[in-house]
Structure 1
Amino acid sequence: MEKNLNRNIRGVKHYLNFKKDFESESERLFDSLPLFYRIMFLDQPNPWIEQINRFDFLRLAVVSSDFNNFQKTLIGKFLYKKIEVIDKKKILEIKLEDFFQSIILKTTEYSFTIQEFLLMLAYNGGLHMKPDKKDEDKSIYIYENLFEKFPDFTFDLLKSISKILLEIFDEFHSLLVGDNNGHSPNSNFQAMIAKDGKILDGIYFKRAFMQFPVRQKKNKGIRISLFIKLLSSNKSEKNHILWYGHRLDKELSIGIYQSKNKLIFHISDSKTIVLDIKELLDDYFLLEICLYPNGKISVAINENLKKVEDLNKNVSIIDGKIILGTNLNGTLFGEFYEQMIAIQSIDKLNQTRNLRVYGLKKMNIQSKHIPYNIIKRET
């Protein structure tokens, strides 16, 4: 068999081995899950999660709605929380970082987070034969009172944790092999296409988001077009519509939000553009922002140029995400209707090229020559 020491392939192989062990219900899961967790999240200075998640996608763990409550029955000395979802109508969605720091087991002497549970399992015969000195008493306690006495329960708990991680990392793996589709996997944050039994005239975002991968392209700018309806009834000071960027890369970002009768564009923490949209509210309109490689910024409404600004520096498309409906952190949301988004690159000769077109209807958007100062701007 041909050997391959490519570090990216080897890194992803940890995920594939872990997935194989889960699907076959192999006892190797006792080792492969803790190893996967340590490599992906804890190894410094570059945990693999930063490599796998190059597009900075939001990650939410889907757990049982009972997750915040300990079960009434004991496993030996241990109270435990229910993770696995039985009824899809009864779920919680929490940030993956918070999931790992959640207490999953407790006794009268100790409590254990999911991270501690995984690492103490690893350091009692998996990655190491003995626990770290600083947690030695606690680690020996869970080893003697849970791992040795209740291996089947321990394995079931591992499977529940594994299922959550695989649901998230299956998505990351699809991105690594070139998937450009919009992603909105978490049911509590999905936009609506129907309401009260009726099909809506657009995709309705309210405490919902959809995220798209954007791949790095040197010496190329980015053009984003949206066919959108904003509501006069929304009185929020920051009704978040769209953000592009990466939370760990401050080189380039674009934010668009509504503030009552104003539409505000925030570019790379250095430029703000404000348009009056009072006459456009409650009807669909075509919105465009184009950031050119030379730093010129063009904003258009209904294919007519409205504003030109300049960042006074050259820019290139960075690895990141375009996210509709919320900010880059997924903490602040917006309300609006959307029918189409077109994401294009634009080169130094002002020629566009489609990166991703997504809409309710099939669209034929062609490459075009669009200088920054042209008044009539076709999509």
Structure 2
Amino acid sequence: MPVSPALAEDLAAAVADLYEAAQGTIIERIRDALAADIDSPLWLELKAASIGDLQAAVQAVIDALQLEASGAMQQAVAEAYERGQQAAVAELGALAAGQAAAATSAVPAAAAVDRLANALIADTGPVHMRILRQTMDVYREVIAHASSAPLLGAQTRRQAAQTALDRFTARGVTGFIDRAGRSWDMRSYVEMATRSTVGRAAIEAHTDRLGAAGIELVMVSDSPEECPLCRPWEGKILSRAGAPGARTIEAEHATEDEQMVSVDIAGSLDEARAAGLLHPNCRHDVRAYLPGLTKRPPKPPGRGTYEDTQRQRYYERQIRRWKREAAGAMDEQKATAARTKVRAYQARIRDLVDETGLPRKSRREQLTAAR
């Protein structure tokens, strides 16, 4: 069957859930540390004295996260690569005996999996250092804000502490910049990086199997809700490997001996990927192209626009944000207000999916509990 980054997106979500859970645990640690003795006149001195204890507690969370995440990333890449290989086997099962037999011969996976997994672990490594630094910066900021605001008569200490803590829970751990210069929060960055890697693993495995079967051309699907980066490649034929650039070749018919077919190649798969095709949230797939046989598949019916999908993702982020604020609330009134915001954004998503037919992805609205 064809393969796309979506084939392994659940694996990326599972890895991102680890970071969401760790972030939730850290918010709870900060909340509990701030709430302890908050009505004591010695609160400021107690908080300053406990900074080392909080730092040790946060570091313990990070150490556990780093260990579990490394294993989860390795496992996710291996599983994605296996899915890609199996997709190629399924797709080529109807071919002539020689090609089908070649496709079922396992392509060595260990080196490719290790290469991709190690790159992902290295790419997300700076996340762990930033977690500790931002957490402690936020804690010091909360103490400073909460201790100075009452002197000005503006807020009570609890209100001041909650206000400063809200700024952290609203945005989470942030400041991760990708190669395109875009800024991400921690969970989104990890999920984006993992989606990119596991999607690449599935596609590499698929095309490696095609190569073992002697198939060097692939076709890109038509997809609803396509983004501007992918649109130019829809329905195009690409070389599995080889030089970039559009060209026309004469290829032998897939089933008719000595019959040649003209094939317009839009470029190489690597070239298309570099231009944006098969990005982490891409819904396009690639499939084996057999000269003279493969026809461009019809475009599936649309379920809204690309802009609608981005609006849905925004609502999902807002739901997670207000759930974090509810978890970080220092009193029930604040928690209730945050839960009201959650319900409001959930209603917006319901209206959006009813209007467009987009599938609702409830998993993306959840905060993962700490293990």
TM-score by length of 1: 0.23
More strand by share: 1
More helix by share: 2
